[in-house]
Amino acid sequence: MENVLRHIPKTDKLLKAFNGCNGILLKRIITEFLEAYRKSLLEGGAVMEFEKCVERIKEDYFKRTQKSLKPLINATGIVVHTNLGRSVFSNEILEEIKPLLCAYNNLEYEVKKGVRGDRYAHLQNLFAALLGAEDVLVVNNNAAAVFLIFNTFAKNKEVVVSRGELIEIGGSFRIPRVMEDSGAILKEVGTTNKTNLKDYQEAINPDTAMLFKAHKSNYEIVGFSKEVGHRELISLAKERQIIDYYDLGSGYFGIKGLEALAKHEMPLEEIVKLNPSLVSFSGDKLLGGAQAGIIFGKKCYIEKLKQNQLLRMLRVDKFTLAALEATLMAYLQGEYEKIPTCRLLLQSKEELARNAEKLFDLIPKRFEPVIVATKSYSGGGAMPNRALESFGIALSFGSEERLEELLRERGIIGRIESGKVILDVRALLEGDEVRIQEALLEIEEFLNHEESLGGGANYAR
């Protein structure tokens, strides 16, 4: 027995074989390793050379100290992809905000008076300049905005909602549940497919605080259906002196080139003209900025939101404010190139075709690339069922699932369609083509090697 255990290396000696590692973690890994090794030896397991032990520990250390977040290539054709981090920042925007983030700043300080300032005041001017909205408030995300608004204005009071708009968006955010948690009382009206203005009118009573409308971000009701428009709801709310609130989901500026969007979704400028009480939307969906919930509307209501203690829990960081400010400034100056979400959505068909050709030229012929017309999507809950024309490269391979996985393992996220892996060019960023080429060359080499071993027979043609 003793004989076997003498093969176990000393902790000190193992520790000396490493440098540049976190000492506490390394010790823990070594202890765990030695315990397992001892057990294995006692059960008749093989003896390991010292070097082998070091290698095992190194592998374990490496595995445990990998960063979890990594960059990916979005070849799905969905520009605002919630699973892939939604809107991307450009280098220009990051460079612009860097001096702010790497220094102290006036986040909550009024330089002129030398007194404490208002963190929420920073974006007011820019929003007013861009939209002409009375006032604005920015919170952590749009879900937080919805919660804050219900909690502030409808605690123990009724909120009237159409049964066709009791939405669930991703991440199990369900309007009825959010309302309940916020203390608001849900008053459903209409049916799943049809709601009339009369349904709202009849539901209003002295306990009603608000008429609420939610954007149908991820579904459509077609056929025998009717919903009440935002404009009508605003007039009714005004007439009855209650609040109207529209959870818009994804707000965007109606800039030239986004006509396809504007056909189905009202741009922010148009919504502001309706003079609503409150509207909220996400900062990192079509707007293309940072994760945030942007609330705009009448000053008196925004003031009340600011008085809610909850706001302290939902408040945004300087990074968010700086990134949003830079994004709004780019809108103001018409520099849409600086906002990747805008740039990707504004690409012309010719541009996309050219990019597809460029990518095509880089792809190893083994994958039998073909340029195909594709349907891409804006994502982020706008126009869920309306495609934007795009192009992609279809790749053929014995097993498309295997190829999709091999690409995914190398950080390239495509999709499978009719037995082929499609790499859509719509949401590709600068340099992605070359990275795709490199990955495919590596995959090719890997497959050649596998075939030479006789392994990949199932996948090779």
Ligand X SMILES: *Cc1c(COP(=O)(O)O)cnc(C)c1O
The least CB distance from residue 165 to ligand X, in Å, is 9
Tallying the residues shown for the chain, one arrives at 461
Residue 161 CA to residue 187 CA, distance in Å, equals 6
Element (H, E) at 233: helix 230-240
Angstrom CA distances, 161 to 78, 188, 302, stand at: 30, 5, 22
Q: Alpha-carbon distance 182 to 310, whole Å?
A: 11
With respect to ligand X, which residue has the nearer C-beta, 124 or 141?
A: 141
Scan for tokens 């079509």, then name that residue: 286
Query: Within the chain, what is the greatest distance between any pair of CA atoms?
Result: 92
Strands (E), 237-277: 243-249
Binding site for ligand X (CB under 6 A): 141-143, 146, 167, 169, 173, 214-215, 217, 247, 249-250, 282, 293, 381
Shorter beta-carbon distance to ligand X: residue 384 or 456:
384
Min dist. Cβ of residue 284 to ligand X (A): 7
Nearest CB to ligand X, comparing residues 151 and 355: 151
Give Cα 381 distance to the centre of its chain: 11
Closer Cβ to ligand X, 217 or 374, answer by number: 217
Nearest distance from residue 157's CB to ligand X, in Å? Answer: 21
CB of 249 to ligand X, least distance (A): 3
**CB 35 to ligand X: min, Å:** 45
- Residue 267 has phi, psi (to 5 degrees) of -70, 160
Question: Of the two residues 250 and 327, which places its CB atom closer to ligand X in the complex?
Answer: 250
User: Rounded to 5 degrees, what are φ and ψ at 102?
Assistant: -95, 20
The neighbouring-strand residues paired with 394 are 370, 422
Decide whether 29 or 279 has the Cβ nearer to ligand X: 279
The CB-of-283 to ligand X minimum distance in angstroms stands at: 7
Output the residue with the shortest Cβ distance to ligand X: 249
Find out whether 74 and 426 touch, Cβ atoms under 8 Å. no
